[in-house]
Amino acid sequence: MGCSIAAIISAAGSSRRMGGLKKEYCPLGSGFTDDDKKPLTVLGAAVLAFVNSKRIQTLVISVPPDAETGEFAARASLPPDLLQSSASPRIFFVPGGRTRRISVHHALSLLSAFPGEEPDFVLIHDGARPWVDTRLIERTIDAVIQYKAVVPLLPVIETPKEIDAAGFVCRHLPRARVGTAQTPQGFAYPAILRAHEQAAEQELVAQREYTDDAEVWGEFIGPVAVIPGSPENRKITFPEDLCFRS
């Protein structure tokens, strides 16, 4: 019997740098359409890439907790066929929290709400990365089954420097050993759920903030393997990013 795979798409952020637009619900343009030739939103394109993998049994989307940009708006931004009761994977929505980590934690907890149906592995993806392709998803699934924790990484082109609190360079980092993390990141479940529970406790005690799930796994579980990322798998942060496609 094969491994069961779930995916989480984090789309609960406030999109503060988008000038009032909820970036995940923005249309990508006429060049990006679903099977019915209808325009895709940012979130719709990301979700469709995971659906097309055919290896994902369950997909959880974290959404803002407010009514205006919450589940109803998220549903409206997806191709209708994906939400049919007979569609695969099953798609669920969960209200997010004040940080990305908390939102992912909520989604991980939802996956444990179905006794006996918990996944073996889970992929966690940013809803603001619409150009993820199914090939990267497939490579992440293969790698997480082998290594239990994996992150796609892009090499750094410019020479990175570490700066101190005063704004001076304090360390010259070797470019060959530094990369920028992408999503989806893959992890064994429920180990990543336990790691998030520990991270939540640490945030209360030490005022920590974790920027991605590989950091959470690395602190509380162990090493994270690396696979090559994709240059096209960009994250939308500003309005002009919607038009930037290589």
pLDDT digit string, tens, across residues 95-144: 999 999 999 999 999 999 877 889 999 999 999 999 999 999 999 999 99
Is 108 in contact with 189 (CB distance < 8 Å)?
yes
pLDDT at 244 over 60: no
Q: Average of pLDDT values for 175-190?
A: 94
% of the chain at pLDDT higher than 90: 72
Question: How big is the chain, counted in residues?
Answer: 246
CA dist 134 and 107 (Å) reads: 22
pLDDT at 181 over 70: yes
Q: What does the pLDDT look like over 28-80, one tens digit per residue? A: 876 777 766 788 999 999 999 999 999 999 999 999 998 788 999 999 999 98
CATH of domain 5-243: 3.90.550.10
Q: Which helix (H) or strand (E) holds 196?
A: helix 191-206
Please list, in sequence order, all residues whose beta carbon lies within 8 angstroms of the beta carbon of residue 8, skipping any fewer than 6 positions away: 59, 60, 61, 62, 104, 107, 108, 111, 122, 123, 124, 125
DSSP β-bridge partners for residue 94: 62
